[in-house]
Structure 1
Amino acid sequence: MKQTIPATVDVLLVGMGPVGAAAANLLGRYGIRTLAIDKSSDIFMAPRAIALDNEALRILQLAGLEEGDFATHAIAKVQMRSPLFGNYARANTAGHIDGHPRLVTFYQPELERALRARLAGYPHVQVALGTELIDFNEQEQGVQARLRLADGSIHGVRASYLVGVDGASSFVRRHAGMDFHGKTFAQDWLVVDAQDVPDPIDHIEFMCDPRRPTPHMVAPGGRQRWEFMLRPDETREQMERPEKIRELLQPWCRPEDITIERTAVYRFHARVVERFSRGRIFLAGDAAHITPPFVGQGLVAGLRDVANLCWKLAWVVQGRAAPAILDSYDMERRPHAKSIVNLALLMGRLVMPRNRLTALGVHGLMSLLQLLPATRALFQDLKIKPPSRFGRGLFKACGRGARLVRGGLFPQGLVRRGAGQPFVLSDDALGQRLALVGFGCDPKSALAPGLQAAWAQAGGTTLQLRHRGQVDTGGEPSWEDMSDSLVPGAAPVGWLAVVRPDRTVLHDGPLAQADAIVSEALALLGVARPAPGGQAAQLRASRTG
């Protein structure tokens, strides 16, 4: 069938891997005219990424996925084992944070199918598979791109913005002249994915043997993965031979009794682009940063990118915010991506010591550090992981009296509308808009009518979170906190918070300061505080100014 490609769109999305598909869903939920393309005509069926943390699962929830849309396996612990010191360190990953397991494994093709299936519900999103971006140039009012369609024909499309989520060898990044800084590991690894393995483990383990470090993990569908470090005298061809793979797997199983899905040798990279954006061109996922796999944060970082970027694009396209807010994408995401890459490099050095002497020193020191509560918590409680908190960006800098972490994530808990009503996760109650949240109070009760109108014009909504048992007085949407994680867990009764669509806290303060809080939030969005009787005109002026 001949594809029909629109001549103009708001966003041209290049790449339909899991990060690109998540971005397409987010843009679809925000009602943005989006064309999502990919050179491949189908999902790559071999498993690649395998781990997601609670933040990634929360972003997938934000993108519209529901529990059960794809299978996951909750991981209770990550164990590090040494032939010299035994089980010398572990990370406790059992339990939930913000309504999701702390760590799960999954099967990437199944996740991609679930994300693509959801796109059928968004009339504003068109997907063109087997379509390649061959050229683009940025102009004052947009980006003009040329596409080669599946039938070989060339089609032009004009987009307000172009987002490259086209992987580590990104054409968008190269064509835009955005440099990739970092290094390629001299060390290669053989990855083996298998099914039907007898006596599967129920966790993730790192066999930190200097002779051959080997991460080993379980995944849904009866799957397991091993990653074997190559020695200096071993080649890709040697390691991918069936007889060599049987030899490597022998300590865990009889290779003839299992089904091997994939074997591949990879050279891991650690790179971050010099800027995540240039003009109307944006990069996300592996196109912007490549993370070694030792902390399972590669795909997670890409999902953080699109959660941060897509709502900002939507607000600018829809005239709800000034284009200047797009500068905050690089400001917020690049430092955090760098910190995750650095953590992965550190963990790589701990996992793959090159000789017994180094292993003796590194693993011996880590064993001793486990005896001290403060340093033990760094690993066991995952405090070594950089928090999702921005140093600067699109939020009001913290001053005296702030109760929430501005620039950090708003917590999530279970809420309900009233007695006998079903429980839902609070992000679903907030919806896809900016939210002015009142903790045990009606946020509109102290907000001037002009600011109420300006807030609605800027894509804002208001809602109340009641502490458990608090009477619903009616009026504004009101939700009862059934987990105590929000009221009073996050803030006391009588407090307000401005929450961005990506669940970042933009501002907070007491109810009595409602006018100032909303005015300052609108100013951050590039929306002027309305004058009495003239708010609509001022909003229009600020969007075109």
Structure 2
Amino acid sequence: MNKNKNAIEFLPAEVDVLVVGYGPVGATIAALLGRYGVSTLVLDKAHEVMLMPRAIALDNEALRILQLAGLAEDAFAKIVIPQVKMHSPVLGQFGRADTQGCIDGHPKLVTFYQPDLEHAMRDQVSRLKSVASLGGFELENLIHEADCVVATVRDQEGQVHTVRSRYLVGADGASSKVRALIGQEFEGQTYAEDWLIVDVKNRHASAIDHVEFICDPQRPTPHMPAPGGRERWEFMLRPGESREALQSEQSIARLIAPWIDPKELEIERKAVYRFHARCCNRFSKGRVFLAGDAAHITPPFVGQGLVAGLRDGANLAWKLAWVLRGHAAPAILETYDVERRPHAQAMINLAKLMGRLVMPRNKIAAFAIHGLMRLLALTPATRRYFEQLDIKPENTFRHGLFTAHVRGEKLVHGSLFPQAWVRNMQKHIVLSDDALRNNLTLVGFGVNPRSLLSSEQAASWVNQGGLFLEIRARGQVSDGTCDFIEDMNHEILPLATKGTIAAVRPDRIIMDHAPGAAAERLLRNCRALLLGERAAATSVSIA
């Protein structure tokens, strides 16, 4: 239920989770918590969605998380990007990434218009009865108590209020007040650069259909299309250039002249941002958690800034819900930092590397680096490494809330369970995540997982927030005692032998798998993990 701007009287005194920040990450966390039935309040200084040019790219994992949060495929406009090209003024095209096709039911890469996404997610939040959102409130202080966090907030009239929450999530961006209040400010050096971002409109017939990097050491320029007939350019500022001067219409017209006649130029949005590469030493302190740019800031060269924040939300929300609903011990919340921080740091490192590769600062370095990349593209193995995005760190955890992986198994513990098109019991063709719903799920490969358990064991699994799902080949039928789907294109079943069962977390991470005969052991392992037993929760996955 969204509250209007003046509804200060609706501010609750107590809530299970307080989310500070109503950008795309905060809204997604709120939507996930709402789908898990958690009492949630979202507060933000602003009332409306920001219109400044910000994130523009999402990958298949991000789209899958938005699906998990309840967004339909057509909830906001997207452009599917078939390739990313890298051009040198001297060598021509020296590299490319193939982004055609889908992974887990979603395109590998899309561009989008961030206000559209935020409005869609806010609409989704407004339909969730357990979630309230309010604008016009600024966080001032936090007090940690034994069983809650007391947040002091100030409304736009200057009046001070307090909100008690069992847990608090700071999704309040790069200048996070939450981060400052818990003493987790970014430390060390940063990779900082100033860039002018320009979004141009009415480019329906003229915009490119791919992403390109103009790797000119004099002025590196990423360039890409966006929905609604938009096109974006990003220009790196040179030493000595002022932000104000470069943002003038005359300067922008001069910069974009190679692509657009100044008479046809229609600027929709413009801003100068400083790109950083930063990561907190910890993503949590006590009952307070950081997510998105509040926890880590990624340069935009691999389009992973917002994606990383969405991964944070998917990982954290279900753990909070399971603790609040009594399905798991609070100790599982420690695994949020353990799982997410290494991958976020790996993505930051990749973005910095790609920045150095495609944006060298002088002509000699550009000729050497781009020439080397062009030579590497002649070898099939190295060409695949770049073109097929093998350079991108896999979202597979080494430590966390899962059992140790057995080398050689296709189902890797700590990695995402695959998604594919399936047919459900109502004979509808859907993506398999929709069949997994919002639960911890025991999945049977060609076997009814419930049939492998005693009634007491099945009841214990349900009491931990678990469901049962059987996957069979296309055309086979169910015995009617368990949720059932048909693997329409035979994409999931080949990953394990018939009779295998797998425990899949609500965020679609594989927790454990075993032969059906070892079902009791698998349930015991999962129970130990959820109850926070240290020996189980610090297991290692070898991908």
Please indicate, yes or no, whether the TM-score normalized by the shorter chain is above 0.5. Answer: yes
Q: How many residues align?
A: 526
Does 1:382 pair with 2:389?
A: yes
Does 1:512 pair with 2:517?
A: yes
Equivalent residue number for residue 537 of structure 1: none
2:7 and 2:422 map into 1 onto residues whose CA distance is: 47
Shift of 1:473: 2.3
Q: Which amino acid aligns with 2:530?
A: L
5 Å matches for 1:337-348?
A: 337-348=344-355
Q: Specify the SS of the correspondent of 2:396.
A: coil
Equivalent residue number for residue 70 of structure 2: 64
2:488 and 2:179 map into 1 onto residues whose CA distance is: 46
5 Å matches for 1:155-174?
A: 155-174=161-180
1:316 and 1:519 map into 2 onto residues whose CA distance is: 18
Shift of 1:237: 1.9
Q: Kindly tell me: are residues 159 and 213 of structure 1, through their superposed partners in 2, closer, same or farther at Cα, counting changes over 3 Å? A: same
CA deviation map 1:178-219 (0-9, x unaligned): 131353445321111111135210000000011111100001
2:195 and 2:7 map into 1 onto residues whose CA distance is: 42
Equivalent residue number for residue 200 of structure 1: 207
Equivalent residue number for residue 123 of structure 2: 117
2:437 and 2:230 map into 1 onto residues whose CA distance is: 35
CA deviation map 1:40-80 (0-9, x unaligned): 11111223100000000000000000011100000000000
Shift of 1:124: 0.9
Q: Which amino acid aligns with 1:390?
A: F
Equivalent residue number for residue 531 of structure 1: none
Shift of 1:119: 1.2
Q: Which amino acid aligns with 1:72?
A: K
Q: Which amino acid aligns with 1:181?
A: E
Shift of 1:153: 2.1
Equivalent residue number for residue 532 of structure 1: none
1:77 and 1:428 map into 2 onto residues whose CA distance is: 29
CA deviation map 1:383-422 (0-9, x unaligned): 000000001000001136744010000000111125x822
5 Å matches for 1:196-345?
A: 196-197=202-203, 198-345=205-352
Equivalent residue number for residue 397 of structure 1: 404
Contact (CA 8 Å) 2:53, 2:197: kept in 1 or not? Answer: no
Equivalent residue number for residue 540 of structure 2: none
Contact (CA 8 Å) 2:347, 2:393: kept in 1 or not? Answer: yes
1:9 and 1:400 map into 2 onto residues whose CA distance is: 44
Q: Kindly tell me: are residues 147 and 210 of structure 1, through their superposed partners in 2, closer, same or farther at Cα, counting changes over 3 Å? A: same
Shift of 1:367: 0.4
CA deviation map 1:137-164 (0-9, x unaligned): 1111110111112443221111000100
Shift of 1:509: 1.1
Shift of 1:365: 0.5
Q: Kindly tell me: are residues 359 and 256 of structure 1, through their superposed partners in 2, closer, same or farther at Cα, counting changes over 3 Å? A: same
Does 1:499 pair with 2:504?
A: yes
Contact (CA 8 Å) 2:192, 2:276: kept in 1 or not? Answer: no
Q: Kindly tell me: are residues 51 and 132 of structure 1, through their superposed partners in 2, closer, same or farther at Cα, counting changes over 3 Å? A: same
Q: Kindly tell me: are residues 222 and 182 of structure 1, through their superposed partners in 2, closer, same or farther at Cα, counting changes over 3 Å? A: farther
1:465 and 1:208 map into 2 onto residues whose CA distance is: 48
1:270 and 1:460 map into 2 onto residues whose CA distance is: 39
Does 1:443 pair with 2:449?
A: yes
Q: Specify the SS of the correspondent of 1:133.
A: strand
1:425 and 1:150 map into 2 onto residues whose CA distance is: 44
CA deviation map 1:412-470 (0-9, x unaligned): 0111125x822011000000000000011000111122221111000000110111122
CA deviation map 1:243-263 (0-9, x unaligned): 111101100011331321112
Contact (CA 8 Å) 1:200, 1:224: kept in 2 or not? Answer: yes
Equivalent residue number for residue 38 of structure 1: 44
Equivalent residue number for residue 537 of structure 2: none
Q: Kindly tell me: are residues 400 and 371 of structure 1, through their superposed partners in 2, closer, same or farther at Cα, counting changes over 3 Å? A: closer
Two-structure CA RMSD over aligned residues (Å) = 1.3
Contact (CA 8 Å) 1:136, 1:145: kept in 2 or not? Answer: yes
1:340 and 1:269 map into 2 onto residues whose CA distance is: 13
Q: Which amino acid aligns with 1:513?
A: A
5 Å matches for 1:396-415?
A: 396-399=403-406, 402-415=409-422
Equivalent residue number for residue 539 of structure 2: none
Extract unaligned runs of 5+ from structure 2.
Answer: 1-5, 534-543
Contact (CA 8 Å) 1:395, 1:406: kept in 2 or not? Answer: yes
2:323 and 2:155 map into 1 onto residues whose CA distance is: 29
Does 1:364 pair with 2:371?
A: yes
Equivalent residue number for residue 523 of structure 1: 528
Match 1:178 to one of 167, 175, 184: 184
Contact (CA 8 Å) 2:81, 2:99: kept in 1 or not? Answer: yes
2:420 and 2:188 map into 1 onto residues whose CA distance is: 39
CA deviation map 1:273-302 (0-9, x unaligned): 010001101000000000000000000000
Extract unaligned runs of 5+ from structure 1.
Answer: 529-545
Equivalent residue number for residue 128 of structure 1: 134
Q: Kindly tell me: are residues 355 and 342 of structure 1, through their superposed partners in 2, closer, same or farther at Cα, counting changes over 3 Å? A: same
CA deviation map 1:353-398 (0-9, x unaligned): 1111000110010001001111111110000000000010000011
1:130 and 1:527 map into 2 onto residues whose CA distance is: 38
Q: Which amino acid aligns with 1:9?
A: V
Q: Specify the SS of the correspondent of 1:181.
A: coil
Runs of 4+ in 1 over 6 A off after TM superposition: none
Does 1:75 pair with 2:78?
A: no
Contact (CA 8 Å) 2:223, 2:234: kept in 1 or not? Answer: yes
Contact (CA 8 Å) 1:2, 1:151: kept in 2 or not? Answer: no
Equivalent residue number for residue 3 of structure 2: none
Q: Kindly tell me: are residues 2 and 121 of structure 1, through their superposed partners in 2, closer, same or farther at Cα, counting changes over 3 Å? A: closer
Q: Which amino acid aligns with 1:463?
A: L
2:362 and 2:368 map into 1 onto residues whose CA distance is: 10
305-314 or 184-193, which deviates more: 184-193
1:510 and 1:242 map into 2 onto residues whose CA distance is: 66
Q: Specify the SS of the correspondent of 2:462.
A: helix
Q: Kindly tell me: are residues 69 and 82 of structure 1, through their superposed partners in 2, closer, same or farther at Cα, counting changes over 3 Å? A: same
1:248 and 1:13 map into 2 onto residues whose CA distance is: 40
Equivalent residue number for residue 542 of structure 1: none
2:189 and 2:103 map into 1 onto residues whose CA distance is: 33
Q: Percent identity?
A: 56
Shift of 1:471: 2.8
Q: Which amino acid aligns with 1:269?
A: H
Does 1:91 pair with 2:90?
A: no
